[in-house]
Chain A
Amino acid sequence: MSLDKSTVRAIADLARIEVQDEELDHLAGELSNILHFVEQLSEVNTDGVLPMSSVADITLPMRADVINDGGYPDKVLANAPEAAEGFFTVPKVVE
């Protein structure tokens, strides 16, 4: 499948990455090449094959539903680009 510029724009929007208009042509070409490359998988007969999401042949373990961590807001916020009063701060979300 070849991607057009508007599809690339839509993907970039979904991924929340700003892309300049002048980059769209180049990106559409590059991403289309990659899709052509991976589309050779359509040759493989996968009828009746279960998708493999992990090689780990294990049942995911359960743990007790108890608080076992926390109590250090300063550490949690230490790397925040902006923080105030013990909270992360963001641009205004609700008008």
Chain B
Amino acid sequence: MTTLLNLSLAEARDALAKGEFTAVELTTAHIKAIEARRDLNAFIVETPDLALDAAKASDQRRKAGPAGAMDGLPIGIKDLFCTEGVQTTAASHILEGFKPPYESTVSARLKAAGAVSLGKLNLDEFAMGSSNKTSYFGAAINPWKKASDPAARLVPGGSSGGSAAAVAARMVMAATGTDTGGSIRQPAAFCGITGIKPTYGRCSRWGIVAFASSLDQAGPMARTVRDCAIMLGSMAGHDPKDSTSVNMAVPDFEKALSGDIRGLKIGIPKEYRPVGLSEEVAKVWDQGIEWLKAAGATPVEITLPHTKYALPTYYIIAPAECSSNLARYDGLRFGLRVPGKTLDEMYRKTRAAGFGSEVRRRILIGTYVLSAGYYDAYYAKAQKVRRLIAEDFRKAFETVDVILTPTAPTPAFGLDENTDDPVTMWLNDVFTIPTSLAGLPGLSLPAGLSADGLPLGLQLIGRPFDEETVFRVAGVMESAANFTAKPEGV
């Protein structure tokens, strides 16, 4: 069974096609793995019975005719995607018990491709966090351990922390994530897996619980670059129900993995090497540059001058959009209701009881920056700086094909660290937020281990809708990195 758990999506897909094992066998192995690792708190809802039914249906389909691109492959769904008839909470008390009467476009596409869902994965509440600690259902735990302190429990990153932990611990073969400021890439880096936030507009946002609508984007998290390419192909595509999803053909991302990056120019932004950048992060970045050089690409120093303003820009725009989006949680139509004598009192009590402290903080900041008298000073200003940040990237991509940076400034930290000051926690996303503001594709892949035995990730950023070049470079880097380390117990 262990061998089934360590297969990549591509390997399992090919083995299923050859009849080496069945979808039911593959799914059963993963259901057992999930039961064995409940200590990681990666799932909010497990759906083993639904998964087995889906696996049986997949085996029958395969007997009857051609199989789908992900037929019979067991995956997990971040609990931010609405799933018909299966509780969807966004890891918030305010949505506890909510069973959507509809399916998100992305999860529906994955099901249509034959993927088998094993259940709903833990996350930071409403995807607001970088540690998974803001989940109402308790933090998910990183399966990796520090060599110096194996007893310490580490965060898997966030917000897609349950997704990253489950993929790393071989409980699922791959998982959906969403990324607003780094929520796919940072947990992928912390858990030693690969994940890509595609270009804004590549995947439909319909049926994904909204956080910051101008930034939110779904993407795959898996153990190889090829697996991310396969899965993104089954997630992406135009959807009339999301007016920002682009009407553009979805390329065969897997075909982009040619292995040949000769002649490509790789941008190395000097602003991503701030004073105080951890030596081991800098080292793995330099190593990444060397790998790409050895494969025939040319590193080019570039400047992204507004980088330092990305974080403050994000922490105006994202809370503003969140305060507007989360206005819908009013205790009326779904989710939690705390009774009040008046309608207004019911709203106040419901929202006080239903939202956790990080979500409340962001709603309050967002309400303030959108309020009369402050809108121009904060929100409009941030929207202007956002344009400057996007312009920085546009100019850089006039000379380079892809940009290489670290994914996060540190490896995974302990559950009890970074708790005092919200701004310190936000610094985790310093390298991923600029890409989100510019709407560009960003992929994180594991590139090495820290001195303490924890995974370190590198990020590749591409031009809008050029995920293919990102995948192509990532494939070469993955071969060079040869990252074979696994967390304990796998």
**Given A46-B385, A79-B335, A93-B343 in contact, is the A15-B309 Cβ separation under 8 Å?**
no
Bound Cα distance A37, B311 (Å): 9
B291 at the interface (CB under 8 A from A): no
Q: At the interface, yes or no: A49 with Cβ under 8 Å from chain B?
A: yes
Find chain B residues with CB under 8 A from A34 CB.
Answer: 315, 361, 365, 422-423
State whether A17 and B244 are in contact (beta carbons under 8 Å apart), knowing that A37-B312, A79-B335 are contacts in the complex: no
Q: Mark B426-467, 1 if CB is under 8 A from A, else 0.
A: 000000000001110000000000000000000000001000
Q: Which residue of B lies closest to A12 (CB)?
A: B364
Contact check, B355 vs A17: say whether CB atoms are below 8 A apart: yes
Chain B residues lying within 8 Å of A19, measured Cβ to Cβ, are 352
A72 to B352, CA, bound (A): 31
Residues from chain B with Cβ under 8 Å of A38 in the complex:
312-313, 315-316, 378, 382
In the complex, chain A residues whose CB is within 8 Å of the CB of B344: 16
User: Which A residues touch B243, using CB under 8 A?
Assistant: 60-61
Quick check: is A51 within 8 A (CB to CB) of the other chain? Answer: yes
Contact assessment for A79 and B387 in the assembled complex, using a CB-CB cutoff below 8 Å: no
Partner of B384, one of A3, A8, A51, A72: A51
B215 to chain A, nearest CB (A): 9
Once the chains bind, are B383 and A18 in contact (CB under 8 Å)? Answer: no
Is A66 located at the chain interface by the 8 A CB criterion? no
Considering only CB atoms and an 8 Å cut-off, how many residues of chain B contact the other chain? Answer: 69
The DSSP consensus for interface residues of chain A is: loop
Do A17 and B201 have beta carbons less than 8 Å apart? no
- In the complex, are the beta carbons of B309 and A41 less than 8 A apart? yes
B387–A49 touching, CB < 8 Å? yes
User: How many chain A residues touch B (Cβ–Cβ < 8 Å)?
Assistant: 50
Complex CA–CA separation, A88 to B333 (angstroms): 7
Chain B 364-378, CB-CB to A under 8 Å as 1, else 0, gives: 110110010000001
For the complex formed, measure the closest distance between the CB of A14 and the CB atoms of chain B, giving whole angstroms.
Answer: 5
- B334 close to A (CB within 8 Å): yes
Given known contacts A52-B390, A55-B214, A56-B439, A81 and B361 CB-to-CB distance under 8 angstroms: no
Contact across chains for A17 and B246 when beta carbons are under 8 A apart: no
Question: B426 — nearest CB in chain A belongs to which residue?
Answer: A37
Interface check B386, CB cutoff 8 A:
yes
Q: A30-B361, A33-B421, A63-B240 are in contact. List 14 more A-B contacts (CB 8 A).
A: A16-B347, A17-B351, A31-B361, A33-B423, A40-B308, A41-B385, A50-B384, A51-B380, A55-B201, A55-B214, A58-B201, A80-B334, A81-B336, A88-B333
Residues of B within 8 A of A (CB): 97-101, 200-201, 214, 240, 243-244, 246, 306, 308-309, 311-313, 315-316, 323, 330-337, 339-349, 351-352, 355, 360-361, 363-365, 367-368, 371, 378, 380-388, 390, 421-423, 437-439, 464
* CB-defined A-B contacts under 8 Å, sample of 23: A15-B364, A16-B347, A27-B361, A35-B365, A37-B315, A38-B315, A41-B313, A44-B388, A50-B384, A51-B383, A52-B384, A55-B437, A55-B464, A56-B439, A58-B244, A61-B243, A79-B98, A79-B100, A81-B332, A88-B333, A91-B340, A91-B343, A91-B346
A residues neighboring B (CB under 8 Å): 3, 7-8, 11-12, 14-19, 27, 30-31, 33-35, 37-42, 44, 46, 49-56, 58, 60-61, 63, 72, 75-76, 78-82, 88, 90-93
